[in-house]
Structure 1
Amino acid sequence: MEFVLAFQQPPNVYETYADLLKAQQVSLAWKQYMGALAAAGVMRAGTQLDPRNASTVRMRDGQRQVQDGPSPDAYALFGGFVVINVETLAEALNWAELSPSSSAGFTEVIPVLPITRA
């Protein structure tokens, strides 16, 4: 089964990147985590995102509204994701638990639905 692990962290986590030592520690934790996923052979795809430079789009009364930056409604920023292929939801939850984002924010586990063609 494929699952997306969506990494969500509060905005203040991104502020720590300004401190070089803290940024190196965070980077090392992510490298180790991604390395473990790759070594286990479960990672299929993934990427890091820059949510601080996102744009938020809403349609209201037929008009597009664009706001620079992440949604003001968000209490966590979507910083990246991986797609994993594991046998069970329990395995996906175990991988999510190990994510650095789970201790600073949260990791959402989302099943991937197969694409059906008509």
Structure 2
Amino acid sequence: MKYLLMIYENEKAAEALSEAEVQRMLGEYGTFTEAIQNSGHFVSGEELEPTAAATTVRIRDGKRLTTDGPFAETREQLGGFFLVEARNLDEAIGIASRIPAARTGSIEVRPVREFPLPQD
């Protein structure tokens, strides 16, 4: 089963890191990513641009409304994700607990709903 591991952190705190701290964190992410690739759990993963680059889209009364930035003001912002293949929720949680940002932010683990593909 696939699980989306969403990485939430405080953007302002991340922006305040020194260059040495950023390089250390990038090294930890590289090590983590290599480990889940080698274990066969890795499907995909990306870092996202800051929330200032986001646009929220809504349709209300048939009209498209756009707002700069995220919809909700929160203390932690979605900064990236890993899509992994895991046997069950416990295994996905184990993988999520190894993501470096779990120490300073939070990781939301959510099963991916898989729909059967239509047969030709």
Q: Percent identity?
A: 28
Partner SS, residue 71 of structure 2:
coil
* 2:14 paired with 1:14: yes
Q: Cα RMSD (Å) of the superposition?
A: 2.0
- Normalising by the residue count of structure 1, what TM-score does the alignment of the two structures yield? 0.83
Unpaired segments ≥5 residues, structure 2: none
* Higher relative helix content: 1
The Cα offsets for residues 53-94 of structure 1, whole Å up to 9 and x where unpaired, read as 212234456554433233352321111111111112111000
Pairs within 5 Å for 1:1-118: 1-17=1-17, 19-52=18-51, 53-60=53-60, 63-116=63-116
SS at match of 1:21: helix
Give the direction of change, closer, same or farther, for the CA distance of 1:39–1:117 in structure 2 (3 Å limit): closer
Q: Normalising by structure 2, what TM-score?
A: 0.82
For these two proteins, the number of residue pairs brought into alignment is: 117
